[in-house]
Amino acid sequence: MIVLASQSASRRALLEAAKIEFEALSPGVDEEAAKEALRADGLDARALADALAELKALKVSRRVPGGLVLGCDQTLSLDDGSMIDKAVDRADAARILRLLSGRVHHLHSAAVIVLNSEPIWRHVERVRMTVRPLSDAFIDAYLESDWEECRWCVGCYRIEGPGAQLFSKVEGSQFAIQGLPLLPLLDFLRVRGVLAA
């Protein structure tokens, strides 16, 4: 069994579907403050996702000695290296979707396993996402139908829901888009003996 340092419904669903036994605990991390501090250190999107995943796993690991704790995080960057955060409200979500419209962006999905407050495994997967040109009418209708779900997602979309309609091309793992590099994680858990080989 592993401990998921997250309350993310998407990550829980991925682990449940893969038949991995886990317990989910909130890491209690002030993500915005942590992001601000890490960005001040000059971390790019990939390194930021990795550092936040590790931070979450470390926080929970202190509460579960001897447990394998999985921390995850996801960041979004444009081709120029600039990063986009989760929307603060619906108007901000519309702004983000207009910014992504007709452009390529990258999702960086990080996972870190910590045992007794020491990272023992990590993986960051990058997915290249091409958003089709989006009309204002589409954006409004999309947010009207899915706002309560997509508001928690970086980029304001759930690929497993209506958010699939935003894209003309996706290069990479759908698991990573949903917030977890699942296949590398499964491989680690098999090597570790948590899952049958």
d(CA 11, CA 20): 11
- Please report, for residues 25, 95, 131, 156, the alpha-carbon distance to residue 63 in angstroms, rounded to integers and kept in the order given: 10, 39, 41, 32
- Collapse the DSSP code of 171 into the 3-class scheme (helix H, G, I; strand E, B; otherwise coil) and give the result: strand
* Per-residue tokens: 65: 């000695």
* Per-residue tokens: 35: 């992001």
Amino acid at residue number 51: A
Amino acid at residue number 88: V
| Residue 30: closest CA among 59, 63, 67 | 59
Catalytic positions: 73
